[in-house]
Amino acid sequence: MRRSCWSLLALAALSCSATTADPREGPGTFIAFDPDFADYRSWRAHDLGVLAPLGHPPGRQTLYVSRPLAPGAARYDDRAIIVREIQSDPDRTKWDLFAMARRGGGYNASGSIDWEFFILSLDSQGVPHVVARGISPAESGPTPYHPGEGVTCNTCHGNEDARRGDCVLSLEIRPAPP
Ligand code: HEC
């Protein structure tokens, strides 16, 4: 397929998935799509065991990092993706999958600066798909992450304290403050 067709496809995907535009966003940003998550299970994995952390459902939890933090780095590189997989059901199509992609360009400037949030789901073949994305992604219906009281991903990942560790909260993969 010629290059222009791919551009059109990318544009179509962008409008279908309704990514939240941030008017302050600069150029040269990374916009992740389904293929960017496809091989997440081959990324560097951190098995957290069975947990029930605040803001996330209970179950066996594993973090996958596409571009691990460079030694001593205070932040992740743009294009880094972190997937949090929670095996909250025997059926993997019902697992809870959250992700953050370092989009860059000043995206999400008043929350998790430079990060875009994602809710993913696996199909019956185990292939991940983006269900919702943006600054405040919401699945249809109430979820523990959107209890309807103004709590969004940014509430926990975009506050001042979170920003000191590049908005990453898990101690295993959180950058040390500069
Ligand atoms: C109520 C607070 C809270 C909310 C709301 C919340 N999270 Fe988290 N999230 C956490 C905590 C705490 C951790 C780290 C847990 C741990 O250390 O076990 C975490 C971890 C993660 C991680 C692994 C990377 C990291 O920061 O450690 C991802 C990815 C993630 N959350 C995505 C999301 C997305 C997407 C949303 C919104 C749909 C969201 N979270 C909403 C508290 C929250």
Q: What is the pLDDT of residue 138?
A: 75
| Residue 2 within a domain | no
Q: What pTM value is reported for the model?
A: 0.85
| Residue 11 within a domain | no
Question: Taking Cα atoms as reference points, which of 67, 87, 46 lies closest to residue 172?
Answer: 46
Contact of 137 with 153, CB cutoff 8 Å: yes
How far is the centre of ligand 1, averaged over its atoms, from the C-alpha of 153 (Å)? 7
| Residue 37 within a domain | yes
| Residue 117 within a domain | yes
Q: What is the pLDDT of residue 3?
A: 43
Q: What is the pLDDT of residue 20?
A: 58
Range of the domain at 121: 28-163
Ligand 1: residue whose CA is nearest its atom 3: 55
| Residue 176 within a domain | no
| Residue 142 within a domain | yes
| Residue 85 within a domain | yes
As a whole number of angstroms, the distance between CA 165 and CA 74 comes to 7
Domain count across the chain: 1
- Is residue 137 lining ligand 1, measured as CB closer than 6 Å? yes
| Residue 17 within a domain | no
- Is residue 82 lining ligand 1, measured as CB closer than 6 Å? yes
Under-70 pLDDT residues of the chain: 1-27, 53-56, 139-149, 178
Q: What is the pLDDT of residue 166?
A: 97
- Is residue 48 lining ligand 1, measured as CB closer than 6 Å? yes
Q: What is the pLDDT of residue 106?
A: 92
